[in-house]
Amino acid sequence: MSAWAPLLPPALVGTERHSGAWPPAGGWPAEVGAVLQAASAAPARATGLLRAAGVLAVVQTASEFGQAWTAPLPTAAPAETQPIAPDEPLLGWLLREGVPRVQHELLAVLAARGQVLPGAWLPAALELGRRSTALRAPVAAVLGARGAWLAAQRDDWRWAASTATADDGEAAWTEGTLVQRSAWLRQQRSQAPAAARERLAAALHELPANERAELVATLATGLSDADEALLDTLLQDRSREVRQTAAALLQRLPGSAFAARAIATIEALLKQERVLLRKRWLIEPPATVPATDPARPKHEPLGERAWWLYMAARQVPLAWWPQHLGQTPAELLRWAESTDWADALHRAWRDALFAAPEPAWCAAFLRHWPRGAGPDQRAAVLALLPLPEREAHWQAQLDTDPPLPDALLMQLGAGCPSPQHLSLPLSQRVAAGLCQRLVQGHLATDWPLRENLADITGLLHPLALPPLRTLTHHPDDTPAVTALLHTVQRIATARGLLHAAGSP
């Protein structure tokens, strides 16, 4: 019988409704039973039950014995050959409890300095990588030799073992994890694109679908017409994800046969009509589609013919539309609204934009997000632009809607991927806006600010952080608000320490 069994009936039905003996009797050793009797003799039965459960938890932990070790002892951890970052407690807290953005920044800064993590940080770093696949590559870059050794000692840390120990040569490709192989292949593409492409082509038939798609995406680095032949064959891959990845890359090659086929399909659907002294473009969906085209999903909101048009239009390079129709992207978005197929066209252009970004189209979608393009994804569109252009957009928002509009709060994080941070001028304006909203004392009900405050503290320029290190606490702040302000202050202080001269 489990030691917990006597406590389960009152716990399940409630101590006030439990009709059995109280305190509950159990087959515990005399000393344990005496402690439980004393613990459960509280004024309220519920309190007594919780105390008894606490006693049992300690007793059970004390009674557990580890299994005998039968495997050979591991070899000793090797000596660390790389410089080790100082074991600064506040930065250790940042790694353990900071928001993902500042964790990524910390790892990136240490890697840029050629430093590896202190030994005391390694378990927390390996746990961080286990929980967050997005941070595995940054973590692996600063594990060092001792971190790689530690990763090999536990099954749930083995994701890092080969990543940390494989060098830049053959071992990275033959023995590394998927994340490590992708990183190595991108590096090879930047140095010798043809050789990297041949290496990938030779390995594709041995890989599962998810790995094929991930590795094919590395062809985006150094993409050129020489990659067309391989990508064209991948349009017939049995994995839909691989086919979509190949098609997105071919869209970025305007002279490819794939783009020519897509353009020919759309050209056949367009015609001009004269209205008084002007001509206007009309578009009609295909009457039929090849049997090899993907079937319309069961719950797809687009009708069948709109779906066919969407599938055809999303494959056309965005640059072709203004060239052929003689209209700017903004004018094309309005033209689509005048047709019967606005939803299909807007959605197709949105997909094409994310597959192969075009600055003019980004600007058009940012000025007016079309209804047919689905949920507003302007923050994601901003992330496609170079950071200076993103910041110009945000500066304009601050000029028209000071001090810090909610829309901007939610855009900043998505539009500034970690470990990047904002420029100093924009950071100072954002920090001033944050402080102005905080001074108003409504953080308990200011949900947009509460949701984004810690993350935004992580993306400001380090020199703009001092105002956030000395935030004013209000007497009526809730415990949750107090905890959030304390976290923000610690993040601001830790980031200042990280970037200070002579710090790790």
Q: pLDDT tens digits, residue range 109-153? A: 999 999 999 999 999 999 999 999 889 889 999 999 999 999 988
Q: In 3-state terms, what secondary structure has residue 413? A: helix
Which pLDDT value is given to residue 504?
44
Mean pLDDT of the 401-406 span: 82
Angstrom CA distances, 49 to 22, 32, 41, 61, stand at: 10, 15, 9, 18
Whole-angstrom Cα distance, residue 17 to residue 172? 63
Q: pLDDT tens digits, residue range 195-207? A: 999 999 999 988 9
Residues near 234 by beta carbon (within 8 Å), at least 6 away in sequence: 204, 216, 242, 243, 245, 246
Whole-angstrom Cα distance, residue 494 to residue 501? 13
Which pLDDT value is given to residue 165?
46
Which residue(s) pair with 275 in the sheet?
Answer: 278
Structural domain spans, the chain: 5-61, 89-165, 179-253, 259-376, 397-499
Residue that has been written with the tokens 């107090």 in this structure = 482
Amino acid at 454: A
Question: Sorting pLDDT into bands at 50, 70 and 90, what band is 79?
Answer: very high
Please list the alpha-helical segments (H only) found in 64-99. 89-97
Amino acid at 239: S
Which pLDDT value is given to residue 269?
94
Backbone phi and psi for residue 271, each to the nearest 5 degrees, phi listed first: -150, 160
Angle at 50 between CA 44 and CA 54, to 5 degrees: 145
Residues near 239 by beta carbon (within 8 Å), at least 6 away in sequence: 209, 212, 213
Backbone phi and psi for residue 23, each to the nearest 5 degrees, phi listed first: -65, 150
Which residue(s) pair with 164 in the sheet?
Answer: none
Contact between residue 140 and residue 129 where contact means Cβ atoms under 8 Å apart: yes
Which pLDDT value is given to residue 72?
85
Angle at 338 between CA 332 and CA 344, to 5 degrees: 70
Q: Which of 19-23, 135-139, 157-161 has the highest mean pLDDT?
A: 135-139
Q: pLDDT tens digits, residue range 343-390? A: 999 999 999 999 888 999 999 998 888 877 778 888 888 888 888 888
